[in-house]
Structure 1
């Protein structure tokens, strides 16, 4: 059967995978799993009960605006906003007015990236919706377990007694999927001292092992490494943003930029690796960041009569890594900070008169 809808049967299966006004719990569970149990907007792990289904291009945009968005993003006219290619799991805060609701929908990199990922995952979503129906009994029990209220003492006791058997069964099928991710946040002051940076730390089994070695053997808290490295990362991003502003070609020459001001920053550490190199143990932290900046810009006027003051705004995102090194001979607690790298980044830079 063609799950993408090339024949009649495939069309029926594809229809089942669409968002509807009824019960979307199966679709929600599949999206939640395929997007790695993370909110697609803030990228942070979330509990299944806190997850919601979001339309990447907004469902309430209105017919006219939706057609404009399709043109802006190069989408076909028959692009269905209720299809899995436009759906993703989102946490409640990001789906509210304080989160994603404040974003302006235009051809911005983050939306393009999310649409690309949703399109790539679409065949899996459609297939798994179909397979859920074919293995209805087991799938329904797993779905009921995933939405259980663990604040209920009876439900919690049932999980503690019976869930290990299910996890063991999963490990027999695929031991990597039997792993789990823990999440916590720490607050770090940046070098400019203007806006604290909330750092999310989400680690799988290997990451937790590395963190345990860092803290129990080296006697250095993960928070201490972050307090040393994250300010440098923020400073590097700020410098790159200023360069991006000054790369804007003005009407009569280059642009001069004042110091960029941060008004939003998010940093997530999603991996910690470790490796012994001779007498050293190297801990490599990796993750992603998002930030928004504003700066005062100056350009020569087009007729050469003077200078024009404008505002520059930038939304940036990227992937980073940094290293912390421990030398056996120095004793516990003496962990040296290594280099910080921005592995990749994307910036949406624009000016406002």
Structure 2
């Protein structure tokens, strides 16, 4: 097998796609919704038809050794078909979100290359694993056959010491936001988090909407406040914005639940991640200092949050008692 790991136009990219699927936690990188292997395609973050001059320019912007190689894993990510159609061949390089996604792909690239080479698609076992992982289970008979024999594979994994409890379960939950309407949360739980959720739902009678309908706006407002501050600081030039940043897109995940009990009180903490893109009009002094110029401001941010809840078993009352946005990693662009 060649040691040159890259996308091959017109060639077999199934192993590369499988590795990308796993490293991106079975999600489309654009909408972050969990997807089956066959629902995904390989996306070129910077379009493959970008001009040589543009690729050289991007290489300089990202401090690469040369022009960006569009087929290198550092420019590849798994994307679902609807998102790929939406994104198209547009060069979003000037957008804060694309810069973050491209840097993330470049960070993952060494692992992508290593895992593709380790997979060794020429071996019998590798071929069987690839076929099982990529099988189209749309047909009822194929799905039934897969489910019939899956427990024997799970049993073998257990005998090899693999903790099956750490395999994640996925769920998409729609919650209501006063400012944005319906928002989807992607819930991914495993191990102790899944067991804590069973207590929260079965014992306390909670649903995800009970927990998230209120806090979602608290989280968004806290994020908007931070984004406003980022735009006012801008690129180290004093700026002001006369409006609260508008939310262009938001993606919210729940990935952990934990609890403690003290007498009749059950205390829960729901933890998750967010990605959000926001924009606003930015004003700053002109070069003469006697007037204002108006620019476009854009913030793309990733971070974490937690929500604290208390359930009193004496009166069966579940209340949200606290929330906090913690990690905050923004990318800010201000442009004409």
Tell me whether the two structures share a fold, i.e. TM-score over 0.5: yes
Number of residue pairs aligned between Structure 1 and Structure 2: 332
Deviation digits for residues 230-281 of structure 1 (CA, Å, limit 9, x no counterpart): 1110010011111112223787x55243222222111121222233345432
Confirm or deny that 1:182 pairs with 2:165.
Answer: no
> Is residue 239–residue 282 contact of structure 2 (8 Å, CA) maintained in 1?
no
1:24 matched residue in structure 2:
13
Q: 1:339 aligns with which of 322, 325, 328?
A: 322
Confirm or deny that 1:70 pairs with 2:59.
Answer: yes
Moved more, 278-287 or 316-325: 278-287
Moved more, 177-186 or 203-212: 177-186
Deviation digits for residues 72-131 of structure 1 (CA, Å, limit 9, x no counterpart): 1112227644333443322222322x2475561147233212311223443233222x3x
1:9 matched residue in structure 2:
none
Q: CA separation in 1, counterparts of 2:170 and 2:260?
A: 23
Q: 1:58 aligns with which of 39, 42, 47?
A: 47
Q: 1:171 aligns with which of 150, 158, 171?
A: 158
1:31-110 equivalent positions in 2, closer than 5 A: 31-77=20-66, 80-96=69-85, 98-99=86-87, 104-106=92-94, 108-110=99-101
Deviation at 1:310, TM superposition (A): 3.4
* 1:68–1:352 Cα change, 3 Å: closer
Q: 2:208 aligns with which of 206, 213, 222?
A: 222
Deviation digits for residues 38-63 of structure 1 (CA, Å, limit 9, x no counterpart): 22333332111112222344322232
1:234 matched residue in structure 2:
220
1:111 matched residue in structure 2:
102
> Is residue 40–residue 114 contact of structure 1 (8 Å, CA) maintained in 2?
no
Query: What's the TM-score once normalised by structure 2's chain length?
Result: 0.87
Deviation at 1:202, TM superposition (A): 2.2
* 1:49–1:77 Cα change, 3 Å: same
Q: CA separation in 1, counterparts of 2:67 and 2:292?
A: 47
Q: CA separation in 2, counterparts of 1:243 and 1:205?
A: 38
- Partner secondary structure for residue 117 of structure 1: helix
> Is residue 250–residue 300 contact of structure 1 (8 Å, CA) maintained in 2?
no
* 1:114–1:322 Cα change, 3 Å: farther
Deviation at 1:150, TM superposition (A): 2.2
Query: What's the TM-score once normalised by structure 1's chain length?
Result: 0.83
CA RMSD of aligned residues (A): 2.7
1:269 matched residue in structure 2:
254
- Partner secondary structure for residue 194 of structure 2: helix
Deviation at 1:288, TM superposition (A): 1.6
2:272 matched residue in structure 1:
287
> Is residue 47–residue 89 contact of structure 2 (8 Å, CA) maintained in 1?
no
- Partner secondary structure for residue 257 of structure 1: coil
Deviation at 1:172, TM superposition (A): 2.1
- Partner secondary structure for residue 171 of structure 2: strand
Q: CA separation in 2, counterparts of 1:99 and 1:289?
A: 21
> Is residue 189–residue 195 contact of structure 1 (8 Å, CA) maintained in 2?
yes
Q: CA separation in 2, counterparts of 1:35 and 1:250?
A: 34
Deviation at 1:220, TM superposition (A): 1.4
Deviation at 1:227, TM superposition (A): 0.7
> Is residue 298–residue 309 contact of structure 1 (8 Å, CA) maintained in 2?
yes
* 1:232–1:204 Cα change, 3 Å: same
| Unaligned residue ranges in structure 1 (runs of 5+) | 1-11
> Is residue 31–residue 125 contact of structure 1 (8 Å, CA) maintained in 2?
no
Deviation digits for residues 11-42 of structure 1 (CA, Å, limit 9, x no counterpart): x6413x33222122222223222332222333
* 1:284–1:100 Cα change, 3 Å: farther
Deviation at 1:67, TM superposition (A): 1.6
- Partner secondary structure for residue 206 of structure 2: coil
Q: CA separation in 2, counterparts of 1:83 and 1:204?
A: 33
Confirm or deny that 1:161 pairs with 2:148.
Answer: yes
Q: CA separation in 2, counterparts of 1:142 and 1:258?
A: 53
1:8 matched residue in structure 2:
none
1:5 matched residue in structure 2:
none
1:303 matched residue in structure 2:
288
Moved more, 156-165 or 181-190: 181-190
1:6 matched residue in structure 2:
none
1:149 matched residue in structure 2:
136
- Partner secondary structure for residue 14 of structure 1: coil
